[in-house]
Amino acid sequence: MTDRLLTHLRHVDIAVPDYDKELDFYSSAWGLTKVADDSGIAFLAAEGSPEQYIVRVRKAEEKRLDLVAFGAATTVDVDTLAEQLLADGVKLIAQPGRIDTPGGGYGFRFFDVDGRTVEVSADVSPRKHRRIEERESIPVRLSHVVLNSPNLDVTRDWYARHLGFRLSDTIQHPKIGNAMHFMRINSQHHSIGIAQCPHMSVHHMSFEMRGIDEYMRGTGRVKKDGRARYLWGPGRHVAGDNTFSYFLDPQGNMIEYTTELEQLDEDTWHPHVYDPSKENVADQWGTANNPKEEDTGDHAFNDPDRSAFIAPPV
């Protein structure tokens, strides 16, 4: 396994056919701030995060995941990772160089084992951000992203070997076997999840709220707004110990408000295997509005993403 050269999750970039509707939703109902918008591409920041943006939305004929971006500590680490990936036969989309997006920086893109585009960067200028106040029900930052894969365990092993991710916990159903792996690049329980699915796609994007009160207020606010379909919640997972409220955005991507994701002692942590068919594993509070299997399963699969090994145009 490579040394851990990644530090954190930076942003998730998506492409959608109805660009205006998607942008309006994220910049108003969901509580993100539009920092740039030009020629069918927009960058959206979280007020509590130093990241220049945490979601990029691009207008396209077909819905797809453009890329998932991670941070590295230094430009040397970026170059080191690129060299290691090349030596291991990983296909680079471009060699490391300057990045022409808000905040600039130095980085490169490559394909993961399923054909997703991944970006790694360093030396990105931080955005001026602020403390989110009590009862302010907008995201503090991007918490994590869960990716659907038709080759769950292969994808888990690839991220561990090539990018230094470590396994935190696994969801294993008695009828289907491994269903989801939670993986980390720092003390946060997971920055990515990998879910078993018939096809490659985004399972969900998750946004961290200030606390329980802000999480509940945000859940209620988005429910009342009506532009996103409310799926499942409010509740608290066992794996990660985080709260959850799941919605479908206007283009059918599943998104989550969460808070209190577990911070691990990495020196002593040992991965657990959880059975989601057991009571209170999916929702330890028992407060969620409906069992997950009744409404979120098919939506979590999302539409098939046909962008495997096709880099986004920008």
Convert the pLDDT of each residue in 55-70 to its tens digit: 999 999 999 999 999 9
- DSSP sequence for 77-139: HHHHHHHHHHHTTPPBSS-SEE--STT--EEEEEE-TTS-EEEEEE-PPPPP--PPPTT--S-
80: which residues sit within 8 A by CB, 6+ positions away? 5
Q: How confident is the model at residue 297 (pLDDT cuts 50, 70, 90)?
A: confident
Tokens representing 170 are 């696994």
Q: Give alpha helix (H) positions in 170-306.
A: 212-225, 292-295, 297-301
At residue 3, the pLDDT reads: 72
Domains parsed from the chain with CATH numbers: 6-122 (3.10.180.10), 141-301 (3.10.180.10)
At residue 1, the pLDDT reads: 41
Mapping DSSP to helix (H, G, I), strand (E, B) and coil, where does residue 47 land?
A: coil
Angle at 292 between CA 289 and CA 294, to 5 degrees: 90
Query: If you average pLDDT over residues 8-23, what whole number do you get?
Result: 98
Q: What is the distance between the alpha carbons of residues 171 and 86, in angstroms, rounded to a whole number?
A: 32
Report the mean per-residue pLDDT for the chain.
Answer: 96
Q: Which tens digit of pLDDT belongs to each residue from 102-131?
A: 999 999 999 999 999 999 999 999 999 999
Residue 267 has pLDDT above 60, yes or no: yes
Tokens representing 165 are 């991710």
Q: How confident is the model at residue 38 (pLDDT cuts 50, 70, 90)?
A: confident
Phi and psi for 147 in degrees, rounded to 5? -110, 135
Q: Which tens digit of pLDDT belongs to each residue from 194-231?
A: 999 999 999 999 999 999 999 999 999 999 999 999 99
Mapping DSSP to helix (H, G, I), strand (E, B) and coil, where does residue 66 land?
A: strand
Tokens representing 186 are 């720092």
Tokens representing 116 are 């997703």
Burial-class residue 125 by CB neighbours within 10 Å (0-12, 13-18, 19+): exposed
| Secondary structure percentages of the chain, helix, strand, coil, to 5 | 20, 35, 45
At residue 289, the pLDDT reads: 85
Q: Let me know: does 125 contact 10? Beta carbons within 8 Å.
A: no
Q: Determine what percent of the chain is predicted with pLDDT higher than 90.
A: 93
At residue 35, the pLDDT reads: 96
**136 vs 39, which has greater pLDDT?**
136
Query: If you average pLDDT over residues 165-169, what whole number do you get?
Result: 98
Burial-class residue 174 by CB neighbours within 10 Å (0-12, 13-18, 19+): exposed
Mapping DSSP to helix (H, G, I), strand (E, B) and coil, where does residue 294 land?
A: helix
Helix (H) or strand (E) segment spanning residue 157: helix 152-163
Q: DSSP state, 188?
A: B
Q: Which tens digit of pLDDT belongs to each residue from 60-107?
A: 999 999 999 999 999 999 999 999 999 999 999 999 999 999 999 999
Tokens representing 132 are 């989110």
Residue 143 has pLDDT above 50, yes or no: yes
Q: What is the distance between the alpha carbons of residues 11 and 43, in angstroms, rounded to a whole number?
A: 10
Tokens representing 89 are 């036969």
Q: How confident is the model at residue 298 (pLDDT cuts 50, 70, 90)?
A: confident
Angle at 254 between CA 250 and CA 255, to 5 degrees: 95
Query: If you average pLDDT over residues 229-245, what whole number do you get?
Result: 97
Pick from 143, 261, 147: nearest CA to 204: 147
pTM (2 decimals)? 0.96
Q: Determine what percent of the chain is predicted with pLDDT higher than 70.
A: 97
Q: How confident is the model at residue 292 (pLDDT cuts 50, 70, 90)?
A: low
Report CA Rg, the chain: 18
Q: Which tens digit of pLDDT belongs to each residue from 172-183?
A: 999 889 999 999
